[in-house]
Amino acid sequence: MSNLKFCQINAENLFLLFDHPLPPNYLKLEKRQWESLTTSVFENKPLQKVISLAGALKDIDADIVMLNEVGGLESLKNFNHYFLDEKYSPILVEGNSDRSIDVGFLIKKNLPFYFDLFSHKNKEIDLAYASNLDKKTTYRFSRDCAELRLFKSDVNQPFLIILLTHLKSPLDPERIDAGGVLRRASELRACVDIYNELRTQNPMVPIMFCGDFNGAAGRIQTDVEFAYLYANTDLEDVLELAQIPVDERHTFIQVRSGFRSEGRQIDYCFLPDLLKPKLKTRSARAYVYKDLFGSTLKRPDTLEQKAQLPSDHYPLIFTLENMNF
């Protein structure tokens, strides 16, 4: 038995696509030099933000990192190679995103178990918009509900399963789903159904459910689209289990006019009954970014301040004790 430390983070457009191997001085490149390293249609994440994000992950030092908004496996591999000292094994399956932002994992090397990743991106979700009820349109996840299995020898006998998703954002360019609520609710229901199917197949295997939920999925002032989660599972958010004060749970900052900002929790890691006793409660928190001197950065009040952060989301971290591997 041993402990495992986890980190959930929306890495905000983590594109790292290079036409050639990076020069030895890549950490000191000017903005124009950095931007010239790729001819991809996707802009690479700004260098200083990448360096700061890597610094935060090194400080956190998680065994398993669950990431949202990664620009494919190549970007994840480059991030690990050039900025994380090859400390992790990157694993990712391309999902359905029309922005090419995927969910993926970084798993620390030399851990005493194996892992494999499965995708549910082709699962149909139960969704119908009022504007096209007569059309036989098939809908799937906006991104994916990825299934990571950790096992000692047999992938069909895992000791832990992690479901990782990135639910529909509030954006509604077609004006058919205000706030993206209908689609987000449908995707959430599909994730819960996957969770319950796996739970039926593996009744003694704990299953975590993590990701960017793009809404208030916690117990407090729960958005309507997440009611299905609590009605049909035994899942509970780690910050709720650890009884973290609500004003310390924010993983996303909404900057409003008049130099006002509002913190919200929209990133979650839900634990089942099998894992709740294993949560090291003092380990669970929303990580606050630090400056070059190691001092915590205050919550941004302006868009300019927010743009200086490594990501527009804050990491969620916690440790599980006495895991059976």
- Per residue, the 3-state secondary structure of the chain, as one string, reads CEEEEEEEEEEEEECCCCCCCCCCCHHHCCHHHHHCCCCCCCCCCCHHHHHHHHHHHHHHCCCEEEEEEECHHHHHHHHHHHHCCCCEEEEECCCCCCCCCEEEEEEECCCCCEEEEECCCCCEECCCCHHHCCCCCCEECCCCEEEEEEECCCCCCCCEEEEEEECCCCCCCCCCCHHHHHHHHHHHHHHHHHHHHHHHHCCCCCEEEEEECCCCCCCCCCCHHHHHHHHHCCCEEHHHHCCCCHHHCCCEEEEECCCEEEEECCEEEEECCCCHHHECHHHCEECCCECCCCCECCCCCCHHHHHCCCCCECCEEEEEEEECC
pLDDT (0 to 100) of residue 135: 65
pLDDT (0 to 100) of residue 137: 84
pLDDT (0 to 100) of residue 259: 66
Q: What is the mean pLDDT of residues 143-153?
A: 98
List the chain domain ranges.
2-323
Mean pLDDT, the chain, integer: 95
Task: Give the model confidence (pLDDT) of 196-220 as tens digits.
Answer: 999 999 999 999 999 999 999 999 9
Task: Give the model confidence (pLDDT) of 281-303 as tens digits.
Answer: 999 999 999 998 889 999 899 99
Please check the confidence at residue 136 and state whether its pLDDT lies above 90: no
pLDDT (0 to 100) of residue 257: 72
Q: What is the mean pLDDT of residues 224-237?
A: 98
pLDDT (0 to 100) of residue 261: 85
Please check the confidence at residue 143 and state whether its pLDDT lies above 80: yes
In CATH, the architecture of 2-323 is: 4-Layer Sandwich (3.60)
pLDDT (0 to 100) of residue 129: 83
